[in-house]
């Protein structure tokens, strides 16, 4: 019999009480791998106990790797019916990032050309999943649970890394709400936002008139005054974000390269009304195809955000990690913006300094509130 530990079930209950507001009589679909199947089961069991219908779909690395290595490229040109059907039937589609545990297959030199060809041909990706969910008004939740490459980057065992991730779920949600509210009280006054970091990032932008959102898990219904529709979520929670004025960004962004990424040394230059210039020292061809396939304008600033989760390690929780910032390009209509496109791409800034109207808000990753 497959077992779920009591601590894992307790965390699932706490998260659902505070940060995952699935309602009775709704349908939740969990997409997991082998290593995180107990996590999916813990949340699915808690859902069922609350009168929520669930389905857990699992696809381990063996299936994923075999398809990537052996299937005809034409296979990837077909739009898959199963994930579309799951999104259509679900009120909540919950994707656990660790469902692909070992991502090193994407970095094998002998598969590089094949991966590029698959990317060109593919009719399904996280971008199309996002657009399908927005179209159907299905909540998309991305769990930021660890994979093998993250555990290696941290120099820890998978079990140790997994405990770090669970700690980012098992937090003081009231304290998280308070920090977010204090940040918003400062940022919503408006003015020039200036983001810098030691790696060379130097970016200025405005968000005057746009709603700042506290992603603390206490989700409220979409508001006519903010035009923010909350159909896209991450777990753990813990960020304060805004959709900047799309033509307001000027300067350069040098985001952090994360473990397991096939693209490193990214540089993005924003030029106001003009399309941003995107480049990378390694793996740009993978970025290029994703950007070129996008509908609309993927080169527009989409989001600016602070990470506020006190237990969120940067290599695990990425954009939720305390004292970080991230900037996104692409789609931002669900954040209260006006840019409609088929991708939303986040870029993490480590140990940032942020000012608004020259008032210091964050210094080298430490809040100055």
pLDDT in tens, 71-92: 999 999 998 999 999 999 999 9
Q: What is the pLDDT, as a whole number, of residue 167?
A: 94
Which residue ranges of the chain lie beneath pLDDT 50?
A: 221-227
Architecture of domain 6-143: 3-Layer(aba) Sandwich (3.40)
Handedness of CA 86, 87, 89, 94 (dihedral sign): positive
Q: What is the pLDDT, as a whole number, of residue 109?
A: 83
Q: What is the pLDDT, as a whole number, of residue 224?
A: 37
The rounded distance, in Å, linking the Cα atoms of 21 and 52 is 11
For the beta carbon of residue 100, count every other beta carbon within 10 angstroms: 20
pTM given for the model = 0.89
The rounded distance, in Å, linking the Cα atoms of 216 and 177 is 6
Domain ranges of the chain: 6-143, 173-229+236-367
Q: What is the pLDDT, as a whole number, of residue 226?
A: 47
The rounded distance, in Å, linking the Cα atoms of 73 and 75 is 5
**Angle formed by the axes of helices 6-18 and 158-169, to 10°?**
30
Q: Which residue has the tokens 């693209």?
A: 263
């Amino acid at each position: 019999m497959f077992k779920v530990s009591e601590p894992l079930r307790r965390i699932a209950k706490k998260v659902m009480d505070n940060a995952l507001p699935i309602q009775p009589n709704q349908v939740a679909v969990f997409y997991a791998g082998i290593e995180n199947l107990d996590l999916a089961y813990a949340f699915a069991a808690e859902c069922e106990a609350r009168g929520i219908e669930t389905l857990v779909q699992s696809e381990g690395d063996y299936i994923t790797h075999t398809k990537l290595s052996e299937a005809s490229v034409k296979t990837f040109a077909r739009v898959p019916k199963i994930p579309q059907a799951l999104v259509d039937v679900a009120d909540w589609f919950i994707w656990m990032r660790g469902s692909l545990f070992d991502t090193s297959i994407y970095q094998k030199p002998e598969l590089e050309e094949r991966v590029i060809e698959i990317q060109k041909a593919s009719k399904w990706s996280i971008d199309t999943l996002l657009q399908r969910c927005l179209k159907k008004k299905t909540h998309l939740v991305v769990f930021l649970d660890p994979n093998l490459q993250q555990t290696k980057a941290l120099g820890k065992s998978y079990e140790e890394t997994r405990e770090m991730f669970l700690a980012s779920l098992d937090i003081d949600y009231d304290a998280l709400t308070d920090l977010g509210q204090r940040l918003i009280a400062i940022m919503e006054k408006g003015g020039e936002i200036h983001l810098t970091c030691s790696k060379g990032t130097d970016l200025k932008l405005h968000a005057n008139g746009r709603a700042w959102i506290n992603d603390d898990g206490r989700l409220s219904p979409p508001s006519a005054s903010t035009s923010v529709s909350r159909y896209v979520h991450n777990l753990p929670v813990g960020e304060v974000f805004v959709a900047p004025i799309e033509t307001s960004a000027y300067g350069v962004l040098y985001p952090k390269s994360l473990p397991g990424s096939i693209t490193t040394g990214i540089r993005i230059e924003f030029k106001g009304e003009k399309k941003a210039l995107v480049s990378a020292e390694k793996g740009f061809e993978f970025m290029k195809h994703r950007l070129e396939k996008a509908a609309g304008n993927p080169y527009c600033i989409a989001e600016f955000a602070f990470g506020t989760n006190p237990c969120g390690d940067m290599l695990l929780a990425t954009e939720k990690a305390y004292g970080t910032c991230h900037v996104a390009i692409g789609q931002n209509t669900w954040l209260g913006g006006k840019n409609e496109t088929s991708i939303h791409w986040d870029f993490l800034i480590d140990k940032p300094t942020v000012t608004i109207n020259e008032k210091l808000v964050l210094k080298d990753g430490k809040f100055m509130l």
